[in-house]
């Protein structure tokens, strides 16, 4: 600690973009991932905060319209103090730090104290939010230019700073940020200074995020419409003929999972493809991994693995039950020096297509692939080939059900089981998740195994939730298969949908047909 404190750290003033985590720049993401401390406000998307390294300290300094978490002067000083501790600090700001983001004020304070800093530009909401609503800020036939105006940076002096007569007569698009509270005043001023009352207007709230909502009207009608539909901040106000392009440029709202924030509970090491597909379909994933994989440490488990691998050629069947199982299987083969050629006469069974793909990576073509990600699916493939007296090795995680073993034993097969990996519940406290659940802002909870159900319930209890099932009642529950659904129901959850095919693709297909 003394060594760190002896040197000055560095501050990165990073634009987080408008909310969609995919819109941060490559450099901005690297700053998030490498930071010792993340200082962020409410416009930085939840997904970005999750991308910080586990050891990073996270400090919320966001502002709401009716209160400030910290005054700007205090935020400025906080950055100085953290850097003086020798820390790498990423100040994550919604949009771009230099577009009404007070990046200049923070940079000035850092300069005063000789703190090294860099500014990492971000995608400003002034452009990105209209684009997600299907509105271009310029159009060769509709608007050759655009202006970005703050709605309430200095409320007491706004009319002195804004030259309404010149602004109203501008031929381009007008984009007001942070102006919903003054929407009627803005419209009145533009009309009073010569802008047609019929000018198209759109108001886009929480653009690029799951809560994105767009209303349309004219300068004469939009304020009444915003009040009727209770549109609050944060929102971008678009004034100009470019709003009419929305009739053919809408795209975000047409994606099948648009408007849905989806809780992903599977292990982070497994979730990347699933998360990416959710994003492609327009959903907003929120990762809260409730399972973590690790190699066994208990001597008796390691001894059992070593013994099984020493007699590979004696098995007629080897069943690998997951992608993790395949990865740990080959890890143990390397550790104990086992020769894969000993399996030349052994039939290898994979549970699900993803497990088969992982085997292919290692140069193994499985003899049987269960289409359903379940032990029942494995047995449906194996049973016609099983012969009494054969030997089978079930290589799986420590939470595997005994069902498949029982079926094999009843058929006269000699079965050995080894736990080649263990599933544990990570220690974590996620206050953002609790807030999202409290506000019914998690729309769908996905479960990809019985252990994800059990562990989420335990995790919520550890975070102080006495009745987790009631806490989750505001979200739709989606399960990968009937076994997982049964566990969810036993935990008191109302299961809304079960994937027809017990695979991740099957679950994604089910999500697209789930109406919330």
Query: Is 178 known to be catalytic?
Result: yes
- Pairing mode, strands 200-205 and 235-239: antiparallel
Of 10, 178, 293, 496, the active-site residue reads: 178
CA–CA dist 438, 474 (Å, integer): 9
- The tokens of 178 are what? 């942070």
Of 41, 419, 430, 496, the active-site residue reads: 41
Whose tokens are 């027809």? That residue is 500
Torsion of CA 34, 37, 43, 44, to 10 degrees: 20
Of 63, 381, 398, 463, the active-site residue reads: 63
Query: Is 398 known to be catalytic?
Result: no
Count of CB atoms within 10 A of residue 22's CB? 14
CA–CA dist 400, 398 (Å, integer): 6
What does DSSP assign to residue 169?
H
Query: Is 63 known to be catalytic?
Result: yes
- Residue 354: phi, psi to the nearest 5? -65, -40
CA–CA dist 382, 385 (Å, integer): 6
Nearest to 442 by CA among 268, 279, 259: 259
Helix (H), strand (E), coil (C) string for 407-431 = HHHHCCCEEEEEEEEEEECCCCCCH
CA–CA dist 88, 80 (Å, integer): 11
Count of CB atoms within 10 A of residue 388's CB? 8
Helix locations, 281-430, DSSP H: 299-310, 323-335, 353-361, 375-382, 403-410
3-state secondary structure of 143: strand
Would you name the residues annotated as active-site residues?
A: 41, 63, 178
């Amino acid at each position: 600690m003394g060594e760190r404190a002896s040197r000055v750290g560095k501050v990165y003033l990073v634009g987080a973009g408008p909310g969609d985590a995919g819109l941060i720049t490559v450099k901005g993401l690297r700053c998030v991932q490498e930071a010792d401390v993340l200082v962020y406000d409410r416009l930085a998307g939840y997904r970005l905060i999750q991308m910080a390294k586990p050891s990073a300290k996270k400090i919320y300094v966001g502002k709401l319209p009716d209160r400030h978490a910290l005054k700007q002067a205090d935020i400025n000083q906080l950055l100085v103090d953290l850097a003086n501790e020798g820390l790498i600090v990423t100040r994550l700001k919604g949009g771009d730090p230099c577009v009404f983001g007070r990046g200049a004020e923070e940079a000035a304070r850092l300069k005063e104290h000789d703190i090294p800093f860099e500014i990492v530009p971000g995608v400003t909401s002034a452009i990105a939010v209209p684009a997600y609503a299907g509105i271009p800020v310029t159009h060769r036939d509709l608007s050759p230019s655009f202006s970005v105006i703050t709605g309430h940076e200095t409320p007491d002096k706004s009319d002195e700073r804004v030259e309404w007569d010149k602004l109203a007569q501008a031929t381009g698009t007008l984009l007001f940020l942070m102006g919903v509270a003054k929407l009627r005043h803005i419209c009145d001023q533009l009309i009073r200074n010569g802008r047609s009352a019929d000018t198209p207007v759109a108001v886009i709230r929480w653009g690029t995020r799951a809560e994105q909502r767009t209303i349309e009207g004219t300068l004469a009608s939009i304020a009444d419409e915003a009040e009727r539909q209770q549109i609050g901040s944060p929102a971008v106000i678009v004034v100009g003929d470019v709003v009419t392009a929305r009739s053919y440029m809408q795209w975000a709202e047409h994606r099948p999972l648009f408007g849905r924030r989806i809780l992903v509970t599977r292990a982070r090491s497994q979730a990347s493809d699933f998360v990416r597909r959710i994003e492609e379909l327009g959903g907003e994933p929120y990762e809260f991994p409730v399972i973590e994989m690790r190699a066994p440490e208990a001597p008796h488990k390691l001894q059992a693995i070593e013994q099984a691998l020493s007699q590979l050629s004696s098995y007629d069947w080897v069943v690998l039950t997951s992608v993790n199982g395949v990865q740990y299987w080959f890890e143990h083969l390397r550790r104990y020096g086992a020769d894969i050629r000993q399996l030349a006469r052994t039939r290898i069974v994979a549970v699900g297509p993803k497990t088969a793909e992982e085997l292919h990576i290692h140069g193994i073509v499985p003899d049987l692939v269960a289409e359903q990600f379940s032990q029942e699916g494995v047995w449906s493939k194996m049973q016609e080939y099983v012969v009494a007296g054969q030997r089978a090795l079930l290589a799986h995680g420590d939470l595997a059900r005994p069902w498949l073993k029982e079926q094999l034993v009843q058929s006269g097969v000699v079965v050995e089981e080894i736990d080649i990996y263990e599933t544990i519940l990570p220690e974590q406290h996620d206050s953002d998740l609790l807030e999202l659940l409290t506000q019914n802002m998690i729309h769908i909870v996905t479960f990809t195994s019985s252990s994800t159900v059990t562990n989420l319930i335990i995790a919520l209890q550890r975070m102080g939730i006495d009745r987790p099932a009631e806490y989750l009642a505001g979200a739709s529950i989606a399960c990968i298969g009937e076994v997982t659904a049964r566990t969810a129901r036993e935990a008191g959850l109302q299961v809304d949908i079960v994937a027809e095919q017990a695979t991740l693709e099957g679950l994604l297909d089910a999500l697209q047909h789930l109406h919330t």
